[in-house]
Amino acid sequence: MPEPEFIAESPPLLAPPWDDGNAGKPRIRDVRVIRTAPEGIRLVVVKIETDEPGLYGLGCATFTQRPLAVVTALEEYLKPQIVGRAVHDIEDIWSMLAVSSYWRSGPVLNNAMSGIDMALWDIKGKLAGMPLYDLLGGRCRTAATVYVHASGDNPIEVEDHARRFMEEGFTHIRCQVAVAGAATYGVAGGLDSDDPHPAHLRLRQDAWDPHAYARALPPLFEHLRLTLGDGVELLHDIHERVPPITAIGIARALEPYQLYFLEDPLAPEDNGYFPLLRQQTSIPLAMGELYVNVNEYLPLIQGRLIDFIRVHLSDIGGITPARKIAALCEFFGVRTAWHGPGDVSPVGHAANLHLDLAVPNFGIQEAHRFGDLAQEMFPGTPDIHEGMMWANELPGLGIDIDEALAARYPYPDHPLNGAWPPVRLADGTVQRP
């Protein structure tokens, strides 16, 4: 089939039939991509500038394992389609960009679209003079309860780390423990880190042993329940790194310890095992950070096979699809738990928070506590205290960026440009990260 003839002209060629009704409304003047790494993690931030002086919006397009591919998608493919468009037509712009490559979805395209989508919502909030949560229907809660990450080389170290969080007022703590002599997700940062990302900086480089890992978990949570008591909610992330039948065994073994949820027990490729997993355990299940296509998670929601949806907002395309997912989940009793590690920019965390405040079926928010440098670079970064994340009252996403400071922290040198290094079994077989 011959490709359709396309003549590169001015943006009105791509404008919708009703564009004449947008006369006098702000329009997109430029789309700029800001690359920076204040904590060594490759962030991609989009800044949409309008023809109205001083009016701009920020969005997160961070795909830290493929940041340069996202930058190219934004600068070479998406920007030419939207310059000149009215900033209010968010739904139409999202739908247009989603089909413009013919082959749809995928993390590169979705992250690029997310940067644009979040920035347009930021602008819309600024034009309305309202925080985004008000524009989305208003608050359903005062602040968003968060969970943080405790880890250690043994159960006692994990307990000590968790106690420090409890003393700070955190009530939900994800717990990961090392397996001696084996690569173990989420613990190589030790007690100095409340977040396992970026994985290529903190992943233990020994061979991965899924069965030793599975055996280590029941003693860990037995110790934590005995020492920490029932007044704290405990979580765990399998990170889809074990065979499905092993994940089912882990879920059954951990059920006596009353976890708040068990995260990513299965990989997206193993979705077919969810009915069996659901039959074998009543432990709450959280899934989603690797999903990029609605057809991956829709059957799990419809089938009531998961309890928390954990999609990474920029990987699904931004706020526009996320608010629809939240509304869908509400009707099926599924709560939100947006992905929120360090490889989500502060802009992305702000987007998470505004949705957390506005959706009635909020469950929990993963937290990353940014250091002083990142907070200086991104004024308005959501504040975390008393075990919750708090929004400011500024319009839009309520966050800004110091571009001069961002330029002083370029991407660090890395042979794989941020890609996740291979995780292997003892015999050398590559495993999912």
Q: What is the mean pLDDT of residues 356-369?
A: 98
Of the candidates 255, 251, 334, which has an alpha carbon nearest to the alpha carbon of residue 300?
334
How far apart, in whole angstroms, are the C-alpha atoms of residue 234 and residue 230? 9
pLDDT for residue 9 is more than 60: no
pLDDT of 192 reads 35
Given the residues 172, 197, 236, 239, select the one marked as catalytic.
239
155 CB contacts (<8 Å, ≥6 apart)?
Answer: 177, 219, 220, 223, 224
Average pLDDT, the chain: 92
Q: What is the mean pLDDT of residues 225-250?
A: 97
pLDDT, tens only, 273-324: 999 999 999 999 999 999 999 999 999 999 999 999 999 999 999 999 999 9
Q: Is 56 a catalytic residue?
A: no
Match 């040198």 to its residue by tokens: 413
How far apart, in whole angstroms, are the C-alpha atoms of residue 229 and residue 212? 26
375 CB contacts (<8 Å, ≥6 apart)?
Answer: 346, 381
Q: What is the mean pLDDT of residues 4-30?
A: 74
Domains of the chain: 135-394 (3.20.20.120)
Higher pLDDT, 1 or 33: 33
Task: Classify residue 301 by its DSSP letter.
Answer: H
pLDDT, tens only, 324-336: 999 999 999 999 9
Q: What is the mean pLDDT of residues 244-258?
A: 98
Helix (H) or strand (E) holding 46: strand 43-50
Contact 131, 107 (CB under 8 A): no
- Residue 422's pLDDT band, with cuts at 50, 70 and 90, is confident
Given the residues 56, 185, 213, 273, select the one marked as catalytic.
185
Q: What is the mean pLDDT of residues 104-110?
A: 95
pLDDT, tens only, 131-165: 999 999 999 999 999 999 999 999 999 999 999 99
pLDDT for residue 96 is more than 60: yes
pLDDT of 166 reads 98
How far apart, in whole angstroms, are the C-alpha atoms of residue 21 and residue 312? 35
pLDDT, tens only, 183-208: 888 885 433 344 434 433 344 467 99
Q: Is 239 a catalytic residue?
A: yes
How far apart, in whole angstroms, are the C-alpha atoms of residue 286 and residue 279? 16
